[in-house]
Amino acid sequence: MKKADVVVVGGSAAGPVAGITVRRHYKDVSILLIRKESKVMVPCGIPYIFGTVGSPDKNVIPDALLSNNGIELMVDEVTMGDRVAKTLTTAGGETIGYEKLILATGSLPLQPPIPGMELENVFAMYKDADYLGRVQEVLRNSSDLVIIGGGFIGAEMADECKKIGNANVTIVEILPHCLLLALDEEFCVRAEDALTQRGIRVITNNGVKAILGDGKVNSVELQSGDKLKADAVIIGIGAVPNTELARKMGLKIGEQRGIWVDKYMRTSDKNIFACGDCAEKFSFFTKKPSGLRLASIATIEARIAGANVFKPKRENKGAVGIFSTAFGDFALSAAGLTEKAAKDAGLDVVIGEAAAADKHPGSMPNARELKTKLIFDRKTRKLIGGELSGGTTTGEMANVIAALIQKEMTADEVATFQMGTHPALTASPIVYQIVNAAEQAAIKLR
């Protein structure tokens, strides 16, 4: 029987980071990572396989991350675990003993109960290189592509697929706007305008009644009764935690169907930890269960689980939720609660807004207007959310906002936080958008 001090199950974003973190904190332990995939996809890069990157092989997490950190790799599927014996069994017939176990089994694409899902050329976004290679071949020869779901996956897939040929690409979103779960309406409208300008048809407030075809998809029927011609369909409506192994092992499952964990990322078994999409989340703001699943959250949880595996060192403060995306040179990002989400949570909010060029002066090459919206809790005066649109600088600015949120800074503190600026890299310190939006909110709060 093979044995390791720490066994990590899962090879996507959370698994390798958990293993590397164990190595950094516990130099002398043996670490084994088991995954079923021969190649592991960079999860957020999957839409870009089809256009910008061009191949699944160019979107791979390198195995050197493991070997360079003294982590042994086993490519096999763990099918069962015995918590009393502290052993795992694999599909290949191996038995592995562990002292501590970290589950990072990820998530699976959400499969809606739509008639016709079984038809040929209807695809969900599985994180499997061979599968995605087959999808790519079909999409290269498609004339009419329908993407079900207008979240980040669906919108990015639409934009990338528009790059690889002359296909008619249509997004179907059941909500009033694309990206509405992460952005307020005015930012969603900007995103839809950008998609439309890139030749993508966007249908909102309409769901899919059925996927039609004789063996192979040929059309999609909407709830409105309209039919869309389709020789390929992409399902991009989200993911569900992969908890099959955890359930078999008798671990507690949370309200959002993830593996229940405490603030140290321990499961209901003190020798087993869980992190990433498979683990239950809770909100940084409300402390209630959260359905957020992001690679960035997965790696943070992995850094907590890995550090705590033999001794509690770090606590999970909850998911803030930081998003970003781009369509061409137009980008959007967000951190924390939207105005709508804050109000839905019963908070009284104050908004601060600012817009200015993201370089200075505005005549600098490639300067773009960057719009910023900050959301503050009126009662505590603390920053609880922010949204941005403009050029590519929005991605890192959302990270700045997330840091300010996590430090629970008030409007006055945000308005006076010290930033560095440079003409080619940032907005002017005179009109720095985060500061000016916070200043506007601070005045409203007086």
The string of pLDDT tens digits covering residues 198-237 is 999 999 999 999 999 999 999 999 999 999 999 999 999 9
Question: What is the pLDDT, as a whole number, of residue 278?
Answer: 98
pTM of the model: 0.95
Angle, helices 433-445/394-406, rounded to nearest 10 degrees: 40
Residue 249 carries which side chain, given as an amino acid letter?
M
pLDDT band at 70 (very low <50, low <70, confident <90, very high): very high
- Phi, psi angles (nearest 5°) of residue 440: -60, -45
* Residue 184: closest CA among 303, 5, 40, 335: 335
pLDDT at 166 over 90: no
- What lies within 8 Å, CB to CB, of 285 at 6+ separation is 318, 320, 336, 337, 345, 384
pLDDT band at 164 (very low <50, low <70, confident <90, very high): confident
Average pLDDT on 169-175 reads: 98
Structural domains present in the chain: 2-108+240-308 (3.50.50.60), 111-237 (3.50.50.60), 331-445 (3.30.390.30)
| Residue pLDDT, tens place only, 250-268 | 999 999 999 999 999 999 9
Question: What is the pLDDT, as a whole number, of residue 165?
Answer: 78
| Residue pLDDT, tens place only, 103-141 | 999 999 999 999 999 999 999 999 999 999 999 999 999
The per-residue pLDDT of the chain, averaged, comes to: 96
| SS3 state at 40 | coil
In the sheet that holds 227-229, the strands lie side by side as 208-214, 216-222, 227-229
Percent of the chain with pLDDT over 70: 100
Burial class (CB in 10 A: 0-12, 13-18, 19+), 158: buried
pLDDT band at 442 (very low <50, low <70, confident <90, very high): very high
How many CB atoms lie under 10 A from the CB of residue 285? 22
Average pLDDT on 236-253 reads: 97
CA distance linking residue 204 with residue 210, whole number of Å: 16
